[in-house]
Structures are given as structure tokens and as C-alpha cells.
A = this chain, B = another copy of it.
Amino acid sequence: MVRMSGQSDSGNSGGGGSRTHRDTAQVDMPMAPPQRTGPVGARGSTPVPPKPALTGPVPLPADGRSDASPMVRTVERHLDEILGAVPQPDPIELAVLDAQGLLCAEDVVSSRALPAFDQAALEGYAARAEDVATASVRRPVELAVVGESVAGVDVPAAIGPGLALKVSAGAMLPAGADVVVPAVWTDRGAARVAVQAGPPAGSYVRRTGDDVAPGDPAVQVGTPIGPAQISLLAAVGRERVLVRPRPRVVVLSAGTELVDVSATPAPGQVVDVNSYALAAAARDAGADAYRSGILPADPRRLAEVLESQLLRSDLVLISGTVASGGFDVVQEALAQLGEMRFRQVAMHPGPAQGFGQLGRDDIPVICVPGEPVAALVSFEVFVRPAIRLMLGKRQLFRRTVQAISGQQLLSPLGYRQYLHGTVMRHPDGGYVVEPVGEATDALLARMARANCLIVIDEDVTEVAAGGLVTVMPLLLGG
């Protein structure tokens, strides 16, 4: 019987995996501290004979030969290595509209007061509160209208007792006025106005600096810049702002079987889908993604491509480098640029993973499997959090929810299994999830029909129908 020798340093024992994933069906709150999806490196389980599997993850034989079977490590350890090594690109200054979606990298202090002057909050008549205090519909108070103050026009005249100035919303208030009577509470008179209600002093008036005083912080370091922040930045006169930039991620595909999407594949050849899919995923995660395509087979040209891409990248993502046993031209070329560590990670799909920091600038290079489903799952698990960390995001991981599994799910001990599924809201509350297609054989078309990943922890071998399982919705905003 084959036995498993991998170091299955999985989480501690337990049920359906609820404890090792945040229940993050919550609002993404800016004040939330950074959090990791699972526990890190708690070692517990021992090698156990695997069940026969038709197409699932392949357990390793118990022969202990480290030359034949590379060390198996947990998902969490591989993720830790990557997250511990990715740099945070230096802040850059961008035009405020280009800063959208990024994190502010400076404490923006206002040199102005907002509002810059006492102004009417709405259309009406600037007046003295004491003059209109007794006004009612039955006993309106009449005021003489001394003129009109329109937003943007010159400083208006002062008013005295019994006088009013017609004002538009945002118009500067005349000296002497301490209230704006809404136009709808008056007869809208031109020379004289009948006021039908007297609001208390200060009503419908915006005072200088009510919003922001000079020297007040406007947008602080670490704030995500959205429309409201752009509004405030513009208001304090900022055309540009220092932000955490989008990391430049270059996406490459390796594999002698690959042809570009424009070609008709010959027998044995396969279309390069990963450079497209991973570039899309990297962009979705917030990166500036460049699809560089299929790596050349010629060693000299290959080395040139890798070197030039390292120079223009903050992160390089390569699929398909972990090729079959024996000499691999891409692995060889990468080894010339620094130490790439290829490892078996205790996950399915996608155990063959690699990471290194290459070239003069120690650019992080993440290698994921060439099989397209494994490539995108690996992206979710390792690359998306790395990109979000480079962006400075506090929430590195997708939120997960606990869902009732509609059917029995099997998973090999010691492996974290990711299954594509469809999660639905249950009429009685909570969620129900079904895997898409056969349990362990998630292929491309099935992946495209899924709306979530089902995550089955290393120490769970079976989720009963009706049992709870961790689900990571893959939101597209459809």
C-alpha cells in the first residue's frame, strides 16, 4: 500500500473547516486589522495511507527519497514565504482621478478652510433670525429685499434689521445675516418678501471652516481613494496625490506544447490560455498587468525575455514552469537569475508551485502550474494576496462564508482541496453550495460556470451532505 510522506503540517483537528477561515460575510470595514485566512504552520497530522483516488491529488510514496519527491509544504507556509518576500513599491504621485482605487500614501493637510466663506446652504433669503422669529403662515413677517447674492459673484452688501438678501445655494452670506430662510418658506418676493416661518439662528448657513479648517487633515495615509476622497482632495486644491501604486505584474506562459490563441493547435498542442487568464486575474486584483505571452524555447532568447521583463516588473508570474521531470529550459534560465525554489504544496489542484526573487532587484517571481484550472486556483491562493499586499490593502484575502454542502465531498488527508462550486442563498437563510461537475476534476468549462471555490482543509477527509464547508465567493459583480 502506498503511504504518504509529505509534511502535512495542517491546522489542528476539527470539523468542516470553519475555524481556519474567517467568516467574512461582513462589510469590508476600513478599520479592520490585517488578517490571514488560516492558521500558520501548526503541525499535527501523521502520514496515513491515502484512499485510492481516480483523478484527485496524488499522495506521495513513503520511500523517503528526497531526491525523487521534493519536500511537500503546506499552503500556509508557501503563502508565508511569498507574502514575507514581496516588496511594497515606493509611493508615486498621480493625478487625483488616476489615484482612484489606490491607497493614499501621504497625510494630506488642508491649507484652506472649507467652506471658504459663510454661505447659504440653500436657496432663500439671508436675514437676521431675530427679525423672523415670530413668522408663521398666518402671520408672515415682511422684509425688504436689498438685493441678491449669487454663488460665485462678488461679496454681497451687509444687511441690517428688517432687511433680507436673496441668496442662491452656496452664495456668500452678507454681513449681519445669521440665518437663511428657505425660499419655499416665503412668497419668493423680489422687492419685499413675506417670511412664513422663522428658523433659529444658524439655520441653513454653512460657516467658514465648518467642514475643514486650515491645517486639518483631509485624507490620511492608508485611506482608500474613492469618489468621496477625490471630492475632498479637489476641494482642498490637490490636483495630484501620493499613492501606493499598482504593482506592475508581467504574465508569462511556459510550455513546449503552447501556441498562441490566434493559431490553430496541431495535435498535441494547446492554446496558451494562462497568459490571458492570469493577466485578467492580476488586473482584477488591482495590478497593472502585462500579458507577455509564451516564453521562447530558444535558451538565449528566453534568457533575454526573462531579464528584460524583470526590469519592468514589480512581480513576475509564470505558468507552466514546473514541467515534467528532467531538464527544463525555463527552470534552467530562471536559475541563472537567482534562486528559484520549486516545491510541492499540499493542495489540489496545483501542488507544483515555485517562488524566488530574481535579477539585480530581487524581483519576486511566482511560478504556478500550467494546467489552467490549477493556474487560476494558485493565483487565488498565492498571487492575489501578494498583489493586494503590494497595493497596501489591509484585507489581503477574499471573504469566505460557511455554506451547507448539498452533497458529500471527499478530500485526501493532508491536502487542502479547492473545488469550483456554485453557492446559492438558501430560502431559510445561510448558503448552500454544490460543486460544479465531478468532485475532483474541475476543468475549464466547469470553472467558468462556478461562482465560488469550496475550500476543504487539510485535516478534513469528508464533508457530509448537509455539513458545513468553507466557501470563497469569486465575485464578478454580475
Q: Show the binding face of A for B, using Cβ within 8 Å.
A: 1-3, 25-31, 52-55, 58-63, 68-69, 96-97, 100-101, 103, 114-117, 121-123, 136-137, 150-155, 166-172, 182-185, 187-188, 196-197, 199-200, 202-204, 206, 210-212, 216, 218-219, 223-224, 226-235, 237-239, 255-258, 261-262, 264-265, 267-274, 276-281, 283-284, 286, 291, 323-325, 369-372, 376, 379, 393-395, 401, 423-425, 431, 441, 443-448, 450-452, 473-478
Which residue on B lies nearest to A24, using beta carbons? B425
Chain B residues with CB under 8 A of A478: 28, 30, 103, 223-224, 393-395
Which residue on B lies nearest to A297, using beta carbons? B152
Cβ of A322 to closest chain B Cβ, rounded Å: 9
Chain B residues with CB under 8 A of A202: 54
Chain B residues with CB under 8 A of A474: 226, 228
> Is the beta-carbon distance between A234 and B443 smaller than 8 angstroms?
no
> Is the beta-carbon distance between B137 and A188 smaller than 8 angstroms?
no
Which residue on B lies nearest to A50, using beta carbons? B197
Chain B residues with CB under 8 A of A256: 150-153
Chain B residues with CB under 8 A of A206: 443
A selection of 22 A-B contacts at a CB cut-off of 8 Å is A2-B137, A2-B196, A29-B424, A30-B476, A54-B200, A61-B137, A97-B279, A101-B476, A151-B256, A151-B268, A152-B270, A169-B369, A170-B270, A210-B441, A216-B445, A218-B448, A219-B448, A224-B476, A228-B447, A231-B447, A235-B273, A239-B261
Is chain A's binding surface mostly helix, strand, loop or mixed?
loop
- Can you name 6 extra interface pairs (CB under 8 A) apart from A30-B451, A58-B204, A393-B477? A62-B137, A114-B445, A154-B267, A224-B478, A230-B277, A232-B448
> Is the beta-carbon distance between A152 and B114 smaller than 8 angstroms?
no
Known: A97-B280, A376-B228. A446 touches B211 (CB 8 A): yes
Bound: A101/B281 CA distance, A? 11
Q: Of B116, B168, B284, which one neighbours A270 at CB under 8 angstroms?
A: B116
Bound: A204/B434 CA distance, A? 23
> Is the beta-carbon distance between B122 and A58 smaller than 8 angstroms?
yes
Nearest first, the 8 closest Cβ-Cβ pairs linking A and B are A152-B257, A168-B324, A224-B478, A231-B277, A151-B257, A211-B443, A152-B256, A227-B281
Chain B residues with CB under 8 A of A239: 261-262
Which residue on B lies nearest to A122, using beta carbons? B58
> Is the beta-carbon distance between A27 and B425 smaller than 8 angstroms?
yes
How many of these chains are in the complex? 2
Chain B residues with CB under 8 A of A452: 27
Chain B residues with CB under 8 A of A395: 477-478
Which residue on B lies nearest to A60, using beta carbons? B184
Among A27, A150, A197, A269, the most chain B Cβ lie within 10 Å of the Cβ of A27
> Is the beta-carbon distance between B168 and A323 smaller than 8 angstroms?
yes
> Is the beta-carbon distance between A261 and B234 smaller than 8 angstroms?
yes
Bound: A261/B54 CA distance, A? 64
Known: A182-B58, A284-B100. A271 touches B237 (CB 8 A): yes
Cβ of A198 to closest chain B Cβ, rounded Å: 9
Which residue on B lies nearest to A437, using beta carbons? B211
Q: Of B122, B137, B211, which one neighbours A445 at CB under 8 angstroms?
A: B211
> Is the beta-carbon distance between A265 and B116 smaller than 8 angstroms?
yes
Bound: A7/B114 CA distance, A? 35
> Is the beta-carbon distance between A473 and B27 smaller than 8 angstroms?
yes
> Is the beta-carbon distance between A271 and B234 smaller than 8 angstroms?
yes
